[in-house]
Homo-oligomer: A and B are copies of this chain.
């Protein structure tokens, strides 16, 4: 049974392989009347392609093409399909390692599952991080829709390898990272991270990272009580991203060391509204949002593809072999990963907002559209990277 779609009402289905002609996404459940331009999409795609030397030098000049569901610049209620062509694709290297699977990649699991003869060994095929282009596209539309509720998502790099930042990270810290090459959560760490990444690149190695997300303007009462708790669906969304192997809500594992009395929150009244004083549990209790900021972090493992030689097995002889993974790879997948984490967060929240009836799934009113357009303009103005328009 395929697991290729995400969301119940706002429903995202992705397709395309790393070295096929294109990658794309069908987005169902977008209400009619939402202004959507290719420029909106390209704006967000930029953050998955920061362009510096810290990311894969494969020139993914990803340009979105809307091929269905938008008429006269607005969504019609029909499924929205957006594609990005794969350019600058070179599969020759992969021919040479066809029989020597990369130990840290999905090569062997795909062979186990689908059979060696049916395996698309070119650049990871469907398992490639390239698939996340489709997620960022859908995330751009999700982020726009969330403007209706004034809900904004910001992610950043909280830790890069052994460099840990022990100050609390606010929503603004995370938001400002959009203007930084390394997505560092603080200005002064941007250059520190750059130094680390240069070292790692020079060593032909890679490094792990922790991505922190803060969501501001969360509506109260979001999430379903039992299995589709907001924390559960967020965990699934984030853990479905290639390379993510850990998820913590609020204080997460730190709470396991504590007494209840140490991490028991208190209710307070601020501006006539009941609020939680500490927000220890990241804005979600019983699986349902409290209205406080949603705060979580996730763990990206180091890029599996490194220039250093790795021990593997030749499938033809079952004998030891060495490979050096050439191709073009990021020293730290977590950096591009921030954009993907933000996108999956947005998709999850829009879906739940629709499930709870807070965002209409059929059509937007004129007033809805104005709120969205204003919010979106503000959000985009925070980081004008100038790549989105020609």
Contacts and interface: CB of A to CB of B under 8 A. Distances in A.
A263 B302 contact: yes
Given A71-B120, A313-B268, A362-B357, A225 B127 contact: yes
A316 interface: no
Contact of A301 (B105, B122, B281): B281
B3 A226 contact: yes
A239 B248 contact: no
Interface in A31-51: 32-33
Given A109-B221, A235-B247, A312-B266, A256 B77 contact: no
| Interface magnitude class on chain A | 35 or more
B267 A312 contact: yes
| Identical subunits present | 4
A299 B253 contact: yes
Interface in A300-354: 300-306, 308, 310-313, 315, 318-319, 334, 354
A281 B126 contact: no
A113 B285 contact: no
Contact of A263 (B120, B288, B301): B301
Contact of A78 (B78, B125, B284, B289): B125
Contact of A221 (B113, B205, B252, B285): B113
Interface string A102-116: 011110111011110
A361 to B, nearest CB: 6
Interface stretch (A18-26, A55-63, A373-381): A18-26
B248 A245 contact: yes
Interface stretch (A143-151, A169-177, A180-188, A207-215): A207-215
B76 A118 contact: yes
A251 to B, nearest CB: 7
A103 B236 contact: no
B310 A266 contact: yes
A272 interface: yes
Contacts of A266: 103, 310-312
A69 interface: yes
A260 interface: yes
A256 B306 contact: no
A290 interface: yes
Contacts of A117: 33, 74
Query: Which 5 A-B pairs rank lowest in CB-CB distance, beginning with the nearest?
Result: A106-B286, A3-B228, A3-B224, A2-B28, A206-B260
11 contacts: A2-B224, A15-B79, A17-B76, A24-B68, A229-B239, A231-B239, A234-B239, A235-B238, A236-B236, A274-B318, A356-B362
Given A113-B220, A227-B236, 11 more contacts: A1-B29, A2-B29, A3-B226, A74-B118, A104-B281, A108-B285, A124-B286, A200-B259, A256-B300, A260-B303, A268-B313
